[in-house]
């Protein structure tokens, strides 16, 4: 732990000394916790709080301690993930802020809650990082983007990367990108599921059994995504490689373009991003600023 006024010297090699806390026990917290364990941080060094026991059992199965006390989590942790709904962030930080010291790194995964809002709810000079993961973190295939607050140093970002690298792709960027990432990847997961559902329903319409159609659709999405990630090629290049003159794919793509699928997807990302930005503009109760 760092003492008041000292620089943060924890490194990848001694992450085992870290105490990690989660306020909130939803899917994002669970996905991140799974990425930390095993090996990176021992289960004995992790504690999770939630107001009810509904989601805590799966954390206990990981060997993680659970509690109903947010203060207990903060008091016993170095890095605290605030993984609650955006409207609950002011309440949680008001409850725990007097227990937050300069040894803490506070990582918020609440959509739309800005760094300025978080810093206004916390003691001065608190190290704050805003992180946006997505649902595939639960299978360690997530896409995570974070932005550092005013008092977060590059080594704090490096520490977070080292903790989260098993969760999937981890990138750092300016805060303006976090809301865009929310629309692209946080909400975008649901857009992909809708597309996969429609693929399967198209096959059912043409006579394939539903269970088989769903299985093939999911594998198609998985295979296409893996190839896109690992090939390094632009999506348009891969798409053109599937098309042959007068073939089935170009006819199907023509139908999609007639339906405006490209514009609809772009509009969906825009709408989700705009909503994330709106969440961040709402005044936070209890802010010091």
Q: Binding site membership: which residues?
A: 23-28, 70, 83-86
3-state secondary structure 41-97: CCHHHEEEECCCCCCHHHHHHCCCEEECCHHHHHHCCCEEEECCCHHHHHHHHHHHH
* Tokens of residue 116, six digits: 């300025």
Pairing of strands 105-108, 20-23: unpaired
Separation of CA 173 from chain center = 14
Annotated binding site for NADP(+): 23-28, 83-86
Q: Which run of H or E residues covers position 281?
A: helix 261-281
Residue 174 backbone phi and psi in degrees, to 5: -65, 155
Tokens 């002011």, residue located: 90
Among residues 132, 131, 153, the alpha carbon closest in space to that of 11 is found at 153
Q: How far apart are CA 5 and CA 102, in angstroms?
A: 8
**Cis omega before residue 38 (within 30°)?**
yes
Annotated binding site for NADPH: 70
Burial degree of 91 (CB within 10 A; 0-12, 13-18, 19+): middle
Q: Which residues pair with 148 in a beta bridge?
A: 129
Q: How far apart are CA 191 and CA 175, in angstroms?
A: 23
Contacts of 241 (CB under 8 A, 6+ apart): none
Whether 111 and 82 have beta carbons less than 8 Å apart is answered as: no
Q: How far apart are CA 271 and CA 82, in angstroms?
A: 25
């Amino acid at each position: 732990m760092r003492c008041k006024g000292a620089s943060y010297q924890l490194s990848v090699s001694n992450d085992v000394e870290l105490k990690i806390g989660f306020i909130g026990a939803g899917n994002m917290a669970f996905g991140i916790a799974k990425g930390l364990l095993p090996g990176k941080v021992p289960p004995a060094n992790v504690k999770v709080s939630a107001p009810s026991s509904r989601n805590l059992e799966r954390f206990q199965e990981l060997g993680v301690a659970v509690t109903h006390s947010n203060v207990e989590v903060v008091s016993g942790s170095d890095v605290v993930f605030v993984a609650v709904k955006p409207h609950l962030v002011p309440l949680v930080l008001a409850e725990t802020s007097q227990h937050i010291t300069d040894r803490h790194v506070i990582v918020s995964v609440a959509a739309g809650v800005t760094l300025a809002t978080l810093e206004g709810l916390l003691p001065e000079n608190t190290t704050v990082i805003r992180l946006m993961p997505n649902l595939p973190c639960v299978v360690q295939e997530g896409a995570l983007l974070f932005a550092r607050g005013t008092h977060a140093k590059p080594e704090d970002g490096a520490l977070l990367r080292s903790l989260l690298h098993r969760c999937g792709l981890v990138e750092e960027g300016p805060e303006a990108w976090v809301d865009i990432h929310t629309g692209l990847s946080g909400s975008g997961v649901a857009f992909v599921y809708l597309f996969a559902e429609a693929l399967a329903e198209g096959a059912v319409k043409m006579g394939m059994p539903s269970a088989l159609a769903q299985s093939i659709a999911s594998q198609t999405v998985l295979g296409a995504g893996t190839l896109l990630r690992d090939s390094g090629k632009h999506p348009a290049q891969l798409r053109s490689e599937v098309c042959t003159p007068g073939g089935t794919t170009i006819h199907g793509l023509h139908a999609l373009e007639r339906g405006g699928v490209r514009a609809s997807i772009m509009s969906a990302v825009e709408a989700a991003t705009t909503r994330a930005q709106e969440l961040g503009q709402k005044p936070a109760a209890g802010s010091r600023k």
